[in-house]
């Protein structure tokens, strides 16, 4: 039996609540199957840790995480710690240190999930967002000059390297090739006259290696509109770090809300651990109430199974989510129900058992 060592960072707010249910689902599916087992090690990193130690994680945290097969993360950010510190010192630090340059976010409307486009005949929503996850608008490069003075100027630099741009676009084409899908590139070359002109050129170049794949290109503003008016046109979508972050929240709204938005931060070369996390944040307004929706975290667990080659288990977990949604009985308040976070996790386990 294979043993996978998973570093668990529950993080802040609802993070620990949803992660507990994700672990429950991973363990149940693995136990019923018998080919794989998990060894979980918890790390108490996050905003509380920051308030005590002045940093979001141990000084040697990145070194310690190297020993794991994967990382399972809940959420980061809490009032009292500036959001840019909590994000950069934990989540983005891990993504960058481990060159997790692919952020895979499925936008898939499962049967039973609520959709604001219901009855509009435009409800076939099955997109796979491939978001560049290592540079671009999230490069961290910039400056803050003449702070507090009338001539104050702030610079935030987007960095688009040839290596970084080529590899994410190529990853999208490889994904589409395997799935027999189209590839859509989303950029903004009319306004961002260096970075996005370059992005479009690289997309054009790489697309020539895949003449059998149909391609489309949209400006990000038009894409945001089309995602709502005609979501069926999007299959595999490749876009930059910031655009991907924003558009996948639009996608989440179409496919059941943030409680159903899953994500995987992948280092495809497997030189370093990859990280699986729900897209949502720490939701301080509902933290500690036991009502957070754990399904996005369970879905991220399904992505973890896929990543390790247990695609049948990944599908089984996704199917369990769909059955639960179709039953329409054990759902958290965001989906119109009155069940608790752990009741949803328990029902997932029961469905896996059936
Ligand atoms: N689930 C992890 C989390 O707390 N994400 C919040 C967030 O703001 N993420 C930004 C990003 O994915 O770039």
Which fold, 116-132+158-254? 3.90.190
pLDDT at 119 (0 to 100)? 65
Using the predicted structure, report yes or no on whether residue 123 has a pLDDT greater than 90. Answer: no
C-alpha span between 215 and 305 (Å, rounded)? 29
The residues with which 102 forms a beta bridge, in sequence order, are 132, 266
Residue pointed to by tokens 């391609």 = 215
| Ligand 1 centre distance from Cα of residue 208 (Å) | 34
- The pLDDT of residue 246 is above 90: yes
Q: Is the CB of 18 under 6 A from ligand 1?
A: no
1-105+257-354: which CATH topology?
Isopropylmalate Dehydrogenase (3.40.718)
> Taking the C-alpha atoms of 290, 293, 296 and 299 in order, what is their torsion angle to the nearest 10 degrees?
80
**Token pair recorded at residue 123:** 């409800």
- Cα of 281 vs centre of ligand 1, distance in Å, is 6
**Tell me, what's the pLDDT at 305?**
98
- Please give the model's pTM, rounded to 2 decimal places: 0.95
Whose alpha carbon is nearest atom 6 of ligand 1? 281
Instruction: Compute CA 245 distance to the chain's CA centroid, rounded to the nearest angstrom.
Output: 9
- DSSP assignment of 124-163: --EEEEEEE-SSEEEEEEEEEESTTSTT-EEEEEEE--HH
Phi, psi of 45 (to 5 degrees): -85, 150
For residue 115, the model assigns a pLDDT of 86
pLDDT at 10 over 70: yes
Spell out the domain ranges in the chain.
1-105+257-354, 116-132+158-254
Atom of ligand 1 nearest to the CA of 83: 8
**SS3 for 304?**
helix
Closest to 217 measured CA to CA, from 231, 240, 237:
237
**pLDDT tens digits along 135-174:** 999 999 999 999 999 999 999 999 999 999 999 999 999 9
- Smallest CA-to-CA distance from 240 within 273, 303, 191 is with 191
Mean pLDDT of all residues in the chain? 96
- pLDDT tops 80 at residue 268: yes
How far apart, in whole angstroms, are the C-alpha atoms of residue 241 and residue 150? Answer: 32
Ligand 1 centroid from CA 164, angstroms: 21
- Residue ranges in 34-149 assigned as alpha helix (H): 47-53, 61-65, 83-86, 92-97
DSSP 308-333: TT-HHHHHHHHHHHHHHHHHTSS--G
Angle subtended by helix axes 341-353 and 15-33, to nearest 10: 10
Residue with tokens 């199917």, as numbered in its chain: 319
**Does any ligand 1 atom lie closer than 6 A to the CB of residue 12?**
no
Name the residue of 91, 244, 298 whose CB sits within 8 Å of the most ligand 1 atoms, as the mutation to test its pocket: 91
Examine the pLDDT at 87 and tell me if it is beyond 70: yes
Contact between residue 6 and residue 273 where contact means Cβ atoms under 8 Å apart: no
For residues 123 and 52, the model is more confident at 52
């Amino acid at each position: 039996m294979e043993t996978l060592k998973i570093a668990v960072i529950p993080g802040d707010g609802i993070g620990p609540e949803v992660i507990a249910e994700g672990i429950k689902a991973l363990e149940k599916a693995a136990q019923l199957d018998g080919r794989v087992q998990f060894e979980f090690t918890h790390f108490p990193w996050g905003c509380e840790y920051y308030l005590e130690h002045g940093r979001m994680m141990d000084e040697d945290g990145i070194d310690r995480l190297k020993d794991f097969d994967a990382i399972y993360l809940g959420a980061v950010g809490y009032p009292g710690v500036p959001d840019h510190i909590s994000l950069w010192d934990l989540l983005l630090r891990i993504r960058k240190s481990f060159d997790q340059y692919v952020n895979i976010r499925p936008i898939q409307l499962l049967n039973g999930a609520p959709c604001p486009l219901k009855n509009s005949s435009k409800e076939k929503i099955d997109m796979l967002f491939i978001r560049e996850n290592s540079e671009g608008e999230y490069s961290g490069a910039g400056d803050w000059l003449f702070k507090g003075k009338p001539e104050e100027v702030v610079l935030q630099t987007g960095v688009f390297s040839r290596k970084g741009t080529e590899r994410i676009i190529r990853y999208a084409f490889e994904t589409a090739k395997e799935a027999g899908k189209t590839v859509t590139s989303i950029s903004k070359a009319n306004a961002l006259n260096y970075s996005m002109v370059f992005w479009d050129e690289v997309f054009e170049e790489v697309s020539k290696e895949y003449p059998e794949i149909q391609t489309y290109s949209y400006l990000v503003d038009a894409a945001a509109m089309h995602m709502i008016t005609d979501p069926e046109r999007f299959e595999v979508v490749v876009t930059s770090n910031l655009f991907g972050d924003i558009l996948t929240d639009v996608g989440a709204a179409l496919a059941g809300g943030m409680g159903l938005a899953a994500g995987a931060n992948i280092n495809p070369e497997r030189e370093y651990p990859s990280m699986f996390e729900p897209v949502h944040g720490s939701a301080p307004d509902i933290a500690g109430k036991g009502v957070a929706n754990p399904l996005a975290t369970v879905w991220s667990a399904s992505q973890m199974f896929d990543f390790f080659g247990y695609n049948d288990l990944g599908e089984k977990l996704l199917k369990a989510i769909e059955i639960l949604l179709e039953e329409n009985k054990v759902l958290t308040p965001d989906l119109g129900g009155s069940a608790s976070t752990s009741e949803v996790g328990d029902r997932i386990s029961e469905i896996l058992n059936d």
